[in-house]
Structure 1
Amino acid sequence: MDFSNPRAFMTFYFVLAALTALYPQSVQAQSPSPNPRTAASDTALDDARVAFEALSETDRRLIQDALIWTGDYNGVADGTFGRQTYAAIAAYQIRSRQQPNGILIPQARSGLLAAAQQARAAAGFMLVDDPKTGIRIGIPTKILSKQATNPSGGSRWQSADDRITLDTRLAPPDATLQSLYDRNLSIQAPGRAVSYKVLRQDFFVIAGETSIGKFYTRYSGGTGGLRGFSIGYDKTLAPQFDRFVVAIANSFTLFPEQLAPAAVAVAPVPKLQPQTEPQAPNLIGTGIVIGRRQVITTAPIASCRDVRVPGLKPRQINGRSPFVLEFANDLNAQPLKAAHGVLVEASPLLVIGFAEEGGKTNLSAMPAKALNAGIISAPLQPGMSGALVIDMHGTLVGLAGILPSMPQRIAGIVPTANYPVVPVSDLFGTAPVLADQWNEAVAQSRRAADIVGSMRPSLVPIICGP
């Protein structure tokens, strides 16, 4: 493990903590031996390495990130392959009743990514640019549902029962990594014991336990100063929450504006910080009219201070992705009327939503294909978060999840990529289950133009004002 990487230290801490709990007398004296049930032969490991490294770096990192969310991997999602990645893939394969050879075929990769996306969606995990400190960090917003400012001037996210707290931290102007490190080591609390600590030139990590909880603190330094975060949580929650700590630590980015965009497998970054210059209203998603004064959307409106549909501002916003916008006046639009269905693997689909091209907002329909539960492949444009996902007989199977605000372009064209879908059952309650066999004759029974035309009166653009 590369201990020059602060995320690797975090991973080592969790491995060490687990070993300490199991073998408190021996863990200090000797290195742990590989588990014979998960250790790979050199040949099997080499075969798995070749298959893994044949993938793009983006796909390799997405697989590792997904394995974090399935609870099989507690390392760094950096795209490099080793025994830890092999063991994680094999563990996932065993649970999925696949051959545990460390090689994920395309269908298995799609299933893994879908399972991870479902776990992220269940936790409401999204990357946030913290306005108090400037760091970028992942927040499981459905678990840490309370947000406030902490006494140190950073941001605070807490669970509803206050058993989990995440604080972002801005160091005083005269602080150094050494002084912050010493200060955190000297904290006194009942039963507090530091299990892991490291100080390097540009970061430090301190982690351990108290009589009732676990904690993890990290600071990093750069030309813009010192920033960090800390997590504390009830020890009884560790079996469920440890994986979130790994995901959060993997997401931490110091001064993200100084970095080139990186491929991540989570929702795009909400821009929470106040704008320093006047900004024109911009399209952030598509809304579906579900009542005379109601709109539902998965657009990233939590990051927008001034949400609008053309000409109207909601008087109330309910939920947390998907959101329901309540208006004081009628929308002069038709509530959506469509049968509810489910994604059928390999079936052709249409994604209908608003896109912004050349400064204009237009309704667009993009062809798509269902890959697996919760995942579609399509060339989606900015603004199509919340777009309708429709099968070819006009049945609603879900809404497009949050999309990157600036998708990658190749020669000016947005290429086909994989995107999450929020299923109908998460929008309107349990959806009726349709036949799981795709009928090609039925699929051709309605033209795409007819489907788009029937849905158009029920769609509105979601605008974020300056």
Structure 2
Amino acid sequence: MRSMLKAVLASLVICASPVALPAAVSPAFASTDLASAYNDNTDQAFRIGLQTRLAWTGDYDGTFDGRVGPQTLRAIRDFQARNGFAADGVMTDTFLKKVIADSDKVRDGLGFRLVRDDRTGVRVGLPAALVSPAGETEVGSIWRSADSGVEIETVRFHDEGYSLEGVFSVLSANGENKKVSSSTISGDVFTIRGQEDGRSFLIRFSNRDGDLRGFSVAWNKAHEAELKPYTVVAANTFDPFSGEPRADDIGPVAKLFRSGRAEGVAFGEREQPAPQPQGPALAAPGFDSSGTGFVVSKDGWLLTNAHVAKSCKTVLVGDLGAASKVVVDEDHDLALVKVDAAVGQPLPIVANKPRLGEDILALGFPLRSILADSLNVTRGNISSLMGLMNDANYLQISAPVQPGNSGGPLVDLAGRVVGVVTAKLNAVAVADLTGDIPQSINFAIRPDAATRFLEEHDVAFETADAKAPLESVPDATAKVQDSIYPVLCLGSK
């Protein structure tokens, strides 16, 4: 066995010269003895290579830790049984050559390669024969298959004040159309698997000093067989801190705000051009940003933010298709998008400004495809009837909002629109400038500013009943949720 292993193991892993097993290994060995023989007489690099190749063949779905134990032995025996070998766990020359040939076929068929994403600084393995670059999001980069059945996304949260435990808590929660099948968090890493809206998903995140980096893979049933081995290898080869992300310097004032794709745009600053992907792995423009919109008229007009819709070649509204018209008011960060399809009922808008301290709900599609594709609801209250520097067009709210919430409705517990979510104060940037860390300071456009915009463009919106009774959070959400849609920007002008 020693001479046999030396002849073939060099092709099993790169840069590894494994030590051969002693000739005494035999099928009569107990599993514990066999595992010990492998662990004591082969290099770790060989054992990691073995686990990697057995993952590509679909037999191993554990961690690439280079330690042969029950799971690795079971994978060896499963491969042996499927391929007509004696399922005894003993690796022969023929067995190893077959593992190499089969794993190469699967890996090369997917075009697997490790790619460093300069948007987030992560290194991730991509099935390059299956997916192609689809541009950048607010928090990372995205790749998608031609049939949209596979979507891979990189993510970085670094100045939003998130904790790994907090993100894990949100992403590992079951939802109406979401079922988490496994979720583990250990130290500075978590992994989540599950299904949502008929698609399977894998999410993996790591943390280093408050810098959270991760990736997600989502796929439909048509891609189940080819994605199963890929996700095991991708999770194990993911390197979250491969390098430093590309710096997008937008200045100290603009950094105070995060509103959708643009920072500071909600308060009069010019939006920076969306950075385009660089290099062969990030070459194609596509999904450029996302936000939220809500129905304001029976003839198909939805209201959202200008910074969500203004620079798009195409604006997609949920599953309703592309908008036929887009009307933008950059000065007030408002936009109207028209869809020629049946929409939910218009949400009624209050005629006057809401009350200070009033309970409100922020509804939208934040961090789309990372948090979920389903509607997200957060609760807070109106903490000021003025925006930054006493701007009367804005409200200050305490409800947590994230990129992708932009353009979503702010409603009271009667389901009446009392604002349009537009911006999130960047706590880290404020701390840099003032030495103090603000808590839960976010902004929405006041309803009177929104209705003036609608009146200027002859949109027949509905005025809310001032006497409508307040309800529970679930009931208020149910009343409005069918009229709220994700808004996707495809390609920058």
Q: TM-score, normalised by structure 2?
A: 0.42
The structure with the larger Rg is 2
